[in-house]
């Protein structure tokens, strides 16, 4: 399992695409079951929000995904570097994304962070 992270528009998708020739599943709109079998899954931070909106336990879902789809490449935006949101659902989402990211990173062989399109391996090796 590989986790690719970084802020919005830092080149995460382009980096994954340049190194791995699989179709990309979009966590912003895919079926939850589809996520569990996808090779590359992007927008995981949006999938977390959708899971919460659907009344699911996003952290439990993430654990299950890591076990059932251990070769997945997951792309997730870094979203926790701003002001703590005023609205409770936004706060909960932000915290849940952080926890889910930690779960995936713990399972991952590599964690790669992109800044301005440049990848740095913060765990394991680059693609």
Partner 1 sequence: MMILVTGGSKCGKSRYAESLFRNRTEQKIYLAAMQPFGEEAHTAIRRHRIMRAEKGFLTVEQYTDIGRADFPDGSAVLLECMGNLLANEMFRGDKIIDCADKIISDIQQLYQRTSLLVIVTNQVGSDGITYGDGTAAYISALGRINQKIALAADKVIECIYGIPVTVKG
By CB under 8 A, is residue 11 in contact with partner 1? Answer: yes
Nearer to partner 1, 18 or 70 (CB): 18
By CB under 8 A, is residue 125 in contact with partner 1? Answer: no
Nearer to partner 1, 23 or 81 (CB): 81
What does the DSSP 8-state code read for residue 23? P
Asked if residue 73 lies in contact with residue 19, where contact means CB atoms within 8 angstroms, the answer is: no
| Out of 97, 100, 111, 112, the residue judged to bind partner 1 by CB under 8 A | 97
Residue 40 CA neighbour count, 13 Å, CB half: 16
Q: What stretches of the chain show up as alpha helix (H) in DSSP?
A: 12-19, 32-35, 44-53, 58-68, 88-107
Residue 123 and residue 125: Cα distance in Å, rounded? 7
Residue 97 structure tokens:
């994304």
Enumerate residues 13-42 that contact partner 1 by CB under 8 A: none
Choose one: 17-25, 59-67, 102-110, 114-122; the region binding partner 1 (CB under 8 A).
114-122
| Out of 70, 80, 89, 124, the residue judged to bind partner 1 by CB under 8 A | 80
Question: Which residues bind to partner 1, rule: CB under 8 A?
Answer: 7-11, 45, 77-83, 85, 93-94, 97, 115-118, 120
């Amino acid at each position: 399992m590989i986790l690719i992270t970084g802020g919005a528009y830092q080149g995460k998708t382009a980096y994954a695409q340049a190194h791995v020739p699989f179709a990309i599943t979009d966590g912003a709109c895919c079926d939850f079951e589809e996520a569990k079998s996808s090779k590359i899954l992007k927008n995981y931070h949006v999938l977390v929000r959708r899971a919460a909106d659907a009344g699911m336990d996003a952290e439990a879902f993430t654990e299950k995904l890591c076990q059932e789809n251990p070769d997945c490449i997951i792309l997730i935006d870094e979203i926790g570097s701003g002001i703590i949101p005023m609205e409770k659902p936004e706060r909960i989402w932000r915290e849940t994304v952080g926890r889910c990211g930690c779960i995936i990173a713990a399972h991952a062989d590599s964690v790669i962070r992109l800044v301005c399109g440049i990848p740095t391996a913060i765990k394991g090796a680059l693609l």
